[in-house]
Amino acid sequence: MPENYPFQLDRVRYPGLTRMADILRAKHRFAADIIDRSAALFGAEWADAFEPVLNALFPTEEAVTAAAKGYSVFAMQSMRLQAVFERERQYKAKTHEQASSEVYFNEQHMMQEYLPGLLLSHFLWPHHYRQIQFFNSAFVQAMRVAGATSFMEVGIGTGLYSGLLLRALPQVRGVGLDISPSSQRFTETQLAALGVADRYRTELRDVTAAPLEPKADWLVCVEVLEHLDDPVAFLRGLRRNMAPGAKAFITAALNAAHADHIYLYRNGSEVLAHLIEAGFTLEQSFIGMAYKPSAPGVPVPEAAAFIVY
Protein backbone atom coordinates (compact mmCIF):
# COMPACT_ATOMS: atom_id res chain seq x y z
CA MET A 1 0.00 0.00 0.00
CA PRO A 2 1.32 3.51 -0.73
CA GLU A 3 2.84 5.13 2.32
CA ASN A 4 0.58 8.19 2.11
CA TYR A 5 -2.41 6.14 3.33
CA PRO A 6 -2.86 7.03 7.04
CA PHE A 7 -4.05 3.53 8.03
CA GLN A 8 -2.41 0.45 6.57
CA LEU A 9 -3.60 -3.12 6.84
CA ASP A 10 -1.30 -5.49 8.68
CA ARG A 11 -1.15 -8.97 7.12
CA VAL A 12 -0.96 -10.69 10.49
CA ARG A 13 -3.92 -8.86 12.03
CA TYR A 14 -6.03 -8.74 8.84
CA PRO A 15 -5.24 -11.83 6.74
CA GLY A 16 -8.68 -11.92 5.11
CA LEU A 17 -8.61 -8.29 4.04
CA THR A 18 -5.07 -8.40 2.71
CA ARG A 19 -5.86 -11.60 0.79
CA MET A 20 -8.92 -9.95 -0.75
CA ALA A 21 -6.85 -6.86 -1.60
CA ASP A 22 -4.21 -9.00 -3.33
CA ILE A 23 -6.84 -10.78 -5.44
CA LEU A 24 -8.58 -7.56 -6.47
CA ARG A 25 -5.25 -6.01 -7.47
CA ALA A 26 -4.25 -9.05 -9.50
CA LYS A 27 -7.53 -9.95 -11.19
CA HIS A 28 -9.95 -7.00 -11.05
CA ARG A 29 -8.01 -3.89 -11.90
CA PHE A 30 -10.98 -1.52 -11.75
CA ALA A 31 -11.13 -2.28 -8.00
CA ALA A 32 -7.37 -2.60 -7.49
CA ASP A 33 -7.12 -0.11 -4.62
CA ILE A 34 -10.66 -0.20 -3.22
CA ILE A 35 -9.59 -2.06 -0.06
CA ASP A 36 -6.78 0.43 0.54
CA ARG A 37 -9.07 3.42 -0.04
CA SER A 38 -11.72 2.06 2.33
CA ALA A 39 -9.10 1.33 5.00
CA ALA A 40 -7.71 4.84 4.65
CA LEU A 41 -11.18 6.37 4.86
CA PHE A 42 -12.56 4.40 7.82
CA GLY A 43 -9.50 3.03 9.62
CA ALA A 44 -9.27 0.21 12.15
CA GLU A 45 -12.98 0.34 13.04
CA TRP A 46 -13.86 -0.65 9.47
CA ALA A 47 -11.15 -3.32 9.26
CA ASP A 48 -12.16 -4.86 12.59
CA ALA A 49 -15.80 -5.05 11.42
CA PHE A 50 -15.04 -6.43 7.95
CA GLU A 51 -12.31 -8.97 8.80
CA PRO A 52 -14.48 -11.44 10.79
CA VAL A 53 -17.18 -11.42 8.09
CA LEU A 54 -14.62 -12.20 5.39
CA ASN A 55 -12.98 -14.93 7.45
CA ALA A 56 -16.28 -16.56 8.35
CA LEU A 57 -17.96 -16.52 4.96
CA PHE A 58 -14.93 -16.77 2.66
CA PRO A 59 -12.36 -18.76 4.66
CA THR A 60 -10.27 -20.15 1.79
CA GLU A 61 -8.32 -18.70 -1.13
CA GLU A 62 -10.85 -20.28 -3.49
CA ALA A 63 -13.80 -18.74 -1.65
CA VAL A 64 -12.22 -15.27 -1.58
CA THR A 65 -11.39 -15.51 -5.28
CA ALA A 66 -14.99 -16.45 -6.08
CA ALA A 67 -16.34 -13.63 -3.90
CA ALA A 68 -14.06 -11.10 -5.58
CA LYS A 69 -15.26 -12.29 -8.97
CA GLY A 70 -18.88 -11.99 -7.84
CA TYR A 71 -18.25 -8.47 -6.58
CA SER A 72 -16.62 -7.57 -9.89
CA VAL A 73 -19.66 -8.74 -11.89
CA PHE A 74 -22.06 -7.01 -9.47
CA ALA A 75 -20.15 -3.72 -9.47
CA MET A 76 -19.51 -3.61 -13.22
CA GLN A 77 -23.19 -4.23 -13.97
CA SER A 78 -24.09 -1.45 -11.55
CA MET A 79 -21.66 0.97 -13.20
CA ARG A 80 -23.01 0.21 -16.67
CA LEU A 81 -26.61 0.72 -15.58
CA GLN A 82 -25.67 3.89 -13.69
CA ALA A 83 -24.10 5.35 -16.84
CA VAL A 84 -27.38 4.79 -18.70
CA PHE A 85 -29.33 6.27 -15.80
CA GLU A 86 -27.17 9.41 -15.82
CA ARG A 87 -28.19 9.97 -19.45
CA GLU A 88 -31.84 8.98 -19.27
CA ARG A 89 -32.63 9.89 -15.62
CA GLN A 90 -34.97 6.89 -15.36
CA TYR A 91 -34.63 3.26 -14.35
CA LYS A 92 -35.37 0.65 -16.97
CA ALA A 93 -39.11 -0.12 -16.88
CA LYS A 94 -39.61 -3.38 -15.01
CA THR A 95 -42.14 -4.94 -12.64
CA HIS A 96 -41.35 -6.59 -9.33
CA GLU A 97 -42.41 -9.90 -10.85
CA GLN A 98 -39.92 -9.46 -13.70
CA ALA A 99 -37.12 -8.48 -11.30
CA SER A 100 -37.90 -11.46 -9.09
CA SER A 101 -37.62 -13.86 -12.01
CA GLU A 102 -34.45 -12.23 -13.33
CA VAL A 103 -32.67 -11.85 -9.99
CA TYR A 104 -34.19 -13.24 -6.78
CA PHE A 105 -35.15 -16.67 -8.16
CA ASN A 106 -32.03 -17.01 -10.31
CA GLU A 107 -30.04 -19.17 -7.92
CA GLN A 108 -26.75 -19.17 -9.81
CA HIS A 109 -26.74 -15.39 -10.20
CA MET A 110 -27.78 -14.83 -6.60
CA MET A 111 -25.27 -17.18 -4.98
CA GLN A 112 -22.27 -16.48 -7.22
CA GLU A 113 -22.63 -12.77 -8.04
CA TYR A 114 -25.50 -10.79 -6.54
CA LEU A 115 -25.28 -11.77 -2.87
CA PRO A 116 -21.46 -11.87 -2.56
CA GLY A 117 -21.27 -8.59 -4.47
CA LEU A 118 -23.93 -6.93 -2.35
CA LEU A 119 -22.33 -8.12 0.88
CA LEU A 120 -18.91 -6.77 -0.08
CA SER A 121 -20.42 -3.48 -1.27
CA HIS A 122 -21.63 -2.78 2.27
CA PHE A 123 -17.99 -2.47 3.32
CA LEU A 124 -16.39 -1.26 0.07
CA TRP A 125 -18.80 1.51 -0.95
CA PRO A 126 -18.51 4.53 1.38
CA HIS A 127 -22.23 5.37 1.50
CA HIS A 128 -23.06 1.76 2.35
CA TYR A 129 -20.56 1.60 5.19
CA ARG A 130 -21.62 4.99 6.57
CA GLN A 131 -25.14 3.61 6.71
CA ILE A 132 -23.83 0.72 8.81
CA GLN A 133 -22.18 3.23 11.13
CA PHE A 134 -25.49 5.07 11.51
CA PHE A 135 -27.26 1.76 12.16
CA ASN A 136 -24.77 0.83 14.88
CA SER A 137 -24.74 4.20 16.62
CA ALA A 138 -28.43 5.11 16.40
CA PHE A 139 -30.39 1.85 16.23
CA VAL A 140 -28.25 -0.93 17.71
CA GLN A 141 -27.31 1.33 20.61
CA ALA A 142 -30.97 2.18 21.22
CA MET A 143 -31.76 -1.53 21.35
CA ARG A 144 -28.89 -2.05 23.78
CA VAL A 145 -30.08 0.72 26.11
CA ALA A 146 -33.67 -0.55 25.96
CA GLY A 147 -32.62 -4.10 26.81
CA ALA A 148 -34.18 -5.43 23.62
CA THR A 149 -34.59 -9.19 23.37
CA SER A 150 -35.89 -9.69 19.82
CA PHE A 151 -36.02 -8.18 16.35
CA MET A 152 -37.38 -8.87 12.90
CA GLU A 153 -35.67 -8.17 9.57
CA VAL A 154 -37.84 -7.99 6.46
CA GLY A 155 -35.96 -8.55 3.23
CA ILE A 156 -32.83 -10.13 4.71
CA GLY A 157 -30.81 -10.10 1.48
CA THR A 158 -27.33 -11.19 2.55
CA GLY A 159 -28.20 -11.37 6.26
CA LEU A 160 -25.55 -8.77 7.05
CA TYR A 161 -27.72 -6.50 9.20
CA SER A 162 -29.20 -9.39 11.15
CA GLY A 163 -25.65 -10.61 11.75
CA LEU A 164 -24.58 -7.19 13.01
CA LEU A 165 -27.40 -7.20 15.55
CA LEU A 166 -26.86 -10.76 16.73
CA ARG A 167 -23.13 -10.20 17.24
CA ALA A 168 -23.57 -6.84 18.98
CA LEU A 169 -26.40 -7.93 21.31
CA PRO A 170 -25.80 -11.45 22.70
CA GLN A 171 -29.19 -11.52 24.45
CA VAL A 172 -31.17 -10.84 21.27
CA ARG A 173 -33.00 -13.37 19.11
CA GLY A 174 -34.15 -12.59 15.58
CA VAL A 175 -36.33 -13.70 12.71
CA GLY A 176 -35.59 -12.90 9.08
CA LEU A 177 -38.12 -12.85 6.25
CA ASP A 178 -37.50 -12.90 2.51
CA ILE A 179 -39.09 -14.16 -0.70
CA SER A 180 -35.83 -15.52 -2.13
CA PRO A 181 -34.66 -19.05 -1.26
CA SER A 182 -31.13 -17.96 -2.19
CA SER A 183 -31.20 -15.11 0.34
CA GLN A 184 -32.46 -17.51 2.97
CA ARG A 185 -29.67 -19.98 2.24
CA PHE A 186 -26.94 -17.31 2.05
CA THR A 187 -28.09 -15.75 5.33
CA GLU A 188 -28.25 -19.06 7.17
CA THR A 189 -24.76 -19.95 5.94
CA GLN A 190 -23.32 -16.61 7.03
CA LEU A 191 -24.92 -16.61 10.48
CA ALA A 192 -23.84 -20.20 11.09
CA ALA A 193 -20.27 -19.30 10.14
CA LEU A 194 -20.40 -16.33 12.52
CA GLY A 195 -21.65 -18.57 15.34
CA VAL A 196 -25.00 -16.84 15.92
CA ALA A 197 -27.44 -19.04 13.98
CA ASP A 198 -28.84 -20.60 17.17
CA ARG A 199 -30.56 -17.29 17.97
CA TYR A 200 -32.10 -16.76 14.55
CA ARG A 201 -34.63 -18.32 12.22
CA THR A 202 -35.64 -17.51 8.67
CA GLU A 203 -38.95 -17.73 6.84
CA LEU A 204 -39.81 -17.54 3.17
CA ARG A 205 -42.84 -15.27 3.14
CA ASP A 206 -44.34 -11.98 2.02
CA VAL A 207 -44.78 -9.80 5.09
CA THR A 208 -47.75 -8.01 3.51
CA ALA A 209 -49.69 -11.21 2.78
CA ALA A 210 -50.87 -11.91 6.34
CA PRO A 211 -50.28 -10.46 9.83
CA LEU A 212 -47.32 -11.82 11.79
CA GLU A 213 -47.41 -13.00 15.38
CA PRO A 214 -45.82 -11.93 17.56
CA LYS A 215 -45.49 -8.43 16.20
CA ALA A 216 -42.04 -6.85 16.05
CA ASP A 217 -40.71 -4.57 18.79
CA TRP A 218 -37.67 -3.73 16.66
CA LEU A 219 -37.83 -4.00 12.89
CA VAL A 220 -35.12 -3.74 10.23
CA CYS A 221 -35.78 -3.31 6.51
CA VAL A 222 -32.72 -2.43 4.42
CA GLU A 223 -32.95 -1.43 0.75
CA VAL A 224 -36.25 -3.08 -0.10
CA LEU A 225 -38.47 -0.13 -1.07
CA GLU A 226 -36.76 0.58 -4.40
CA HIS A 227 -37.40 -3.03 -5.46
CA LEU A 228 -41.18 -2.68 -5.28
CA ASP A 229 -44.01 -1.55 -7.54
CA ASP A 230 -45.89 0.01 -4.60
CA PRO A 231 -43.60 0.92 -1.68
CA VAL A 232 -46.38 2.57 0.34
CA ALA A 233 -48.51 -0.59 0.39
CA PHE A 234 -45.45 -2.52 1.58
CA LEU A 235 -44.70 0.07 4.28
CA ARG A 236 -48.28 -0.14 5.53
CA GLY A 237 -47.77 -3.89 5.81
CA LEU A 238 -44.64 -3.32 7.88
CA ARG A 239 -46.47 -0.87 10.12
CA ARG A 240 -49.25 -3.38 10.80
CA ASN A 241 -46.67 -5.92 11.93
CA MET A 242 -45.08 -3.63 14.53
CA ALA A 243 -46.08 -3.77 18.19
CA PRO A 244 -47.20 -0.60 20.01
CA GLY A 245 -44.13 1.50 20.81
CA ALA A 246 -41.97 -0.38 18.31
CA LYS A 247 -39.19 1.25 16.30
CA ALA A 248 -37.96 0.48 12.79
CA PHE A 249 -34.79 1.05 10.80
CA ILE A 250 -35.87 1.46 7.17
CA THR A 251 -33.64 2.40 4.25
CA ALA A 252 -33.87 3.04 0.53
CA ALA A 253 -31.41 3.53 -2.31
CA LEU A 254 -31.62 6.86 -4.14
CA ASN A 255 -30.60 7.38 -7.78
CA ALA A 256 -28.95 3.95 -7.81
CA ALA A 257 -29.43 1.90 -10.96
CA HIS A 258 -29.38 -1.86 -10.49
CA ALA A 259 -31.01 -4.69 -12.41
CA ASP A 260 -33.65 -5.12 -9.69
CA HIS A 261 -34.33 -1.46 -8.84
CA ILE A 262 -37.83 -0.53 -9.96
CA TYR A 263 -39.05 2.47 -7.97
CA LEU A 264 -36.92 5.57 -8.43
CA TYR A 265 -36.41 7.68 -5.32
CA ARG A 266 -34.59 10.89 -6.28
CA ASN A 267 -34.12 12.26 -2.75
CA GLY A 268 -34.67 11.41 0.88
CA SER A 269 -37.74 13.61 1.11
CA GLU A 270 -39.58 11.30 -1.27
CA VAL A 271 -38.84 8.30 0.95
CA LEU A 272 -39.88 10.20 4.07
CA ALA A 273 -43.15 11.20 2.41
CA HIS A 274 -43.90 7.52 1.78
CA LEU A 275 -43.05 6.62 5.38
CA ILE A 276 -45.40 9.30 6.70
CA GLU A 277 -48.14 8.27 4.28
CA ALA A 278 -47.84 4.72 5.63
CA GLY A 279 -48.30 5.93 9.21
CA PHE A 280 -44.72 6.25 10.48
CA THR A 281 -43.23 9.15 12.46
CA LEU A 282 -39.61 10.14 11.92
CA GLU A 283 -37.15 10.03 14.82
CA GLN A 284 -33.88 10.57 12.93
CA SER A 285 -32.36 10.00 9.51
CA PHE A 286 -29.15 9.69 7.51
CA ILE A 287 -28.26 10.43 3.88
CA GLY A 288 -24.91 9.32 2.44
CA MET A 289 -23.51 9.98 -1.02
CA ALA A 290 -21.55 7.32 -2.91
CA TYR A 291 -19.13 9.76 -4.54
CA LYS A 292 -18.91 13.34 -5.75
CA PRO A 293 -20.93 14.02 -8.94
CA SER A 294 -18.90 14.23 -12.12
CA ALA A 295 -20.63 17.50 -12.98
CA PRO A 296 -23.32 19.73 -11.45
CA GLY A 297 -26.73 18.11 -11.66
CA VAL A 298 -25.50 14.58 -12.41
CA PRO A 299 -27.39 12.13 -10.16
CA VAL A 300 -25.25 10.15 -7.73
CA PRO A 301 -26.27 7.01 -5.79
CA GLU A 302 -27.14 7.71 -2.17
CA ALA A 303 -28.15 5.68 0.85
CA ALA A 304 -31.10 7.00 2.85
CA ALA A 305 -31.83 5.53 6.29
CA PHE A 306 -34.65 6.40 8.68
CA ILE A 307 -35.42 5.45 12.27
CA VAL A 308 -39.18 5.64 12.66
CA TYR A 309 -41.93 4.59 15.01
Share of the chain above pLDDT 90, in %: 95
The answer to whether residue 294 is domain-embedded is yes
Give mean pLDDT, residues 38-46.
97
Confidence at 1, pLDDT banded by 50, 70, 90:
very low
Query: Where does the pLDDT of residue 211 fall: very low under 50, low under 70, confident under 90, or very high at 90 and above?
Result: confident
Side-chain-facing half-sphere of 76: CA atoms under 13 Å: 11
Average pLDDT, the chain: 96
Whole-angstrom Cα distance, residue 69 to residue 297?
Answer: 33
Would residue 182 count as lying in a domain?
yes
Residue 168 domain flag: yes
The answer to whether position 204 is within a domain reads yes
Classified as helix, coil or strand, 93 is coil
Q: What CATH number is given to the structural domain containing 253?
A: 3.40.50.150
pLDDT of residue 138: 99
Is pLDDT of 163 > 70? yes
pLDDT of 7 over the 60 cut: yes
Q: What pLDDT, on the 0 to 100 scale, is given for residue 146? A: 99
Give me the pLDDT at residue 25, please: 98
**What local confidence, expressed as pLDDT, does residue 6 receive?**
77
| Domain tally, the chain | 1
pLDDT tens profile 186-204: 999 999 999 999 999 999 9
Of 182, 159, 183, 163, nearest to 172 by C-alpha is: 163
57 assigned to some structural domain: no
pLDDT of residue 4: 59
Q: Which ranges of the chain does DSSP label H, i.e. alpha helix?
A: 15-27, 34-57, 61-88, 96-99, 107-109, 115-124, 126-134, 141-146, 160-168, 181-193, 231-240, 268-277
Burial class (CB in 10 A: 0-12, 13-18, 19+), 35: buried
The confidence band for 207, taking pLDDT boundaries of 50, 70 and 90, is: confident
Domain limits for position 143: 126-308
pLDDT digits (tens, 9 = 90+) for 235-258: 999 999 999 999 999 999 999 999
d(CA 181, CA 95): 20
User: pLDDT confidence of 180, banded at 50, 70, 90?
Assistant: very high
Q: Does 282 reside within a domain? A: yes
Q: Tell me which H or E stretch contains 286.
A: strand 282-289
Would you call 144 helix, strand, or coil by DSSP? helix
Above 80 in pLDDT, residue 3?
A: no
